[in-house]
Structure 1
Amino acid sequence: MTVTTATPMLQVRGAKTYYGKIIALKGVDIDVNKGEIVTLIGANGAGKSTLMMTICGNPRAREGQILFEGRDITQLPTHEIARLRIAQSPEGRRIFPRMTVLENLQMGAALDNLAYFDQDVERMFTLFPRLKERIGQRGGTLSGGEQQMLAIARALMARPKLLMLDEPSLGLAPLIVKQIFDAIGELNRSEGLTVFLVEQNAYHALRLAHRGYVLVNGSVTMSGPGRELLEKPEIRAAYLEGGAH
């Protein structure tokens, strides 16, 4: 994979986030350049989801700065951050269970992009053909893999500049995980979509990503090209031994 530009899209500088008096992020620095897939890997409880939520403004960084396309968004309300075309697919596939697949996609569509709604729905069905087969089915009756596809598709309906995915492989069968990661890679290649991926599945994430960061107890301990990190003995020992892929 080749990134043709190094234009910064997301810059996190010295971010510190607290839950009460407990510090969850201890001065995190991360860059996501336009057109890149960047992944953040780490064990459970390392602070990965906290970083993603901090970028979205809930919880807020108590110290440090978050820039999006050069604009300081550290103190912006979450709904204003979303309006900048940052879309998040949160951990746990939080779809609307009583709504149909089509209604979930409608909920994700940006209000100023309704002119493209039919076209965008077709794009989602091309990306995830299973959703087309389930178009009238309630979200809560879908399989786990189908719900994850729907959660990602709903985020994409906002036509984001930056797509943030939190643990998209969590609890899914290997074949479904491969389909989802293939779809993310295809979006990046064909549309130049910028992706920030938080993931416990280090093998798939680092194979897919242009660059990766390792988060341990709220601090970035390592960074570099995804494939290079994948080959590091300490990464293999911590995240890949025992058939994690």
Structure 2
Amino acid sequence: MSEKQPLLQIRGVETYYGKIVALRGVDMDVHEGEIVTLIGANGAGKSTLMMTICGTPQARNGTVHYKGIDITRMPTHEIMRMDIAQSPEGRRIFPRMSVMENLQMGAAVVDPKHFSGDLEKVFTLFPRLKERREQRGGTLSGGEQQMLAIARALMGRPRLLLLDEPSLGLAPLIVKQIFDAIAELNRTEGLTVFLVEQNAYHALKLAHRGYVMVNGVITMSGTGKELLSREEVKAAYLEGGRH
């Protein structure tokens, strides 16, 4: 892609849960304006890498750099103030708050003057949220909650959006809407996206580049198209799916 330093650079990262090694020397780059996806089976360590980027847990060895700054040992709240936003696995919206209040929470880290313009953008991206703006988050469908989780992250005006399993448990039509929205943001706003996904087919079709993780180790990398055509990827992640 580019010779300049990646927006997000991960080198030799090892993360532990107690004595259990969850990540084993992970190297990864995400360049400005890219969609990069990490695929792998359940339990491969994908979400652990996402959480390690955000500082909980911290890497025991190796480094994480964002915009050239070493964030490996930074506390999570400081990392999340650096124009990084996360839509975590399991959505984790505020269920007792309305859609509008959830979006206001997402915007709390940025200048209030942007609020109405940004609100219009996320409502254009996810019209369903506009219809449900006064509804409590907890009463939305799973797909609507996922849209809200992404919209809330976008209200923080991130330069880097971290998405953890956005398609999990959702109907194919909703998955398509969400992936189309991610592609649109990348195309029109140049938003950089790091996407962790079990749905390898959709993720690799969307991504400029991808990585495959097995048991905490990166085993393959390449363009989305290259990985989709690899026989070992087809056998492990696409058999029985659409490809």
| TM-score computed with the length of structure 1 as normaliser | 0.97
Letter of the 1:20 partner, please give it: G
3-state SS of 2:241 partner: coil
Where does the alignment leave 5 or more consecutive residues of structure 2 unmatched? Answer: none
1:132 Cα offset (Å):
0.3
Aligned to 1:239: 237
1:185-226 alpha-carbon deviations (Å, 9 max, x no partner): 000000000000000000000000000000000000000000
Match of residue 107, structure 2, among 99, 106, 109? 109
Compared CA separation, residues 218 and 159, structure 1 to 2 (3 A):
same
3-state SS of 1:213 partner: strand
Aligned to 2:184: 186
Match of residue 7, structure 2, among 6, 9, 13? 9
| TM-score computed with the length of structure 2 as normaliser | 0.98
Letter of the 2:176 partner, please give it: K
Report the Cα distance in structure 2 between the residues aligned to 1:203 and 1:196, rounded to whole angstroms.
Answer: 16
Aligned to 1:28: 26
3-state SS of 2:156 partner: coil
Compared CA separation, residues 93 and 39, structure 1 to 2 (3 A):
same
3-state SS of 1:99 partner: coil
1:112 Cα offset (Å):
3.1
Aligned to 2:71: 73
Report the Cα distance in structure 1 between the residues aligned to 2:54 and 2:229, rounded to whole angstroms.
Answer: 32
Deviates more, 1:128-137 or 1:106-115: 106-115
1:4 Cα offset (Å):
7.9
Match of residue 157, structure 1, among 147, 155, 177? 155
Report the Cα distance in structure 1 between the residues aligned to 2:207 and 2:29, rounded to whole angstroms.
Answer: 13
Note if contact 2:110-2:157 (Cα within 8 Å) is conserved in structure 1: no
Letter of the 2:161 partner, please give it: L
Note if contact 2:5-2:68 (Cα within 8 Å) is conserved in structure 1: no
Compared CA separation, residues 142 and 192, structure 1 to 2 (3 A):
same
Aligned to 1:218: 216
Aligned to 1:82: 80
Identical amino acids, percent of aligned pairs: 75
Report the Cα distance in structure 1 between the residues aligned to 2:166 and 2:109, rounded to whole angstroms.
Answer: 25
Aligned to 1:41: 39
Report the Cα distance in structure 2 between the residues aligned to 1:144 and 1:243, rounded to whole angstroms.
Answer: 22
1:244 Cα offset (Å):
5.6
Aligned to 2:193: 195
1:6 Cα offset (Å):
5.9
Where does the alignment leave 5 or more consecutive residues of structure 1 unmatched? Answer: none
Q: Which runs of 4+ in 1 moved over 3 A?
A: 3-7
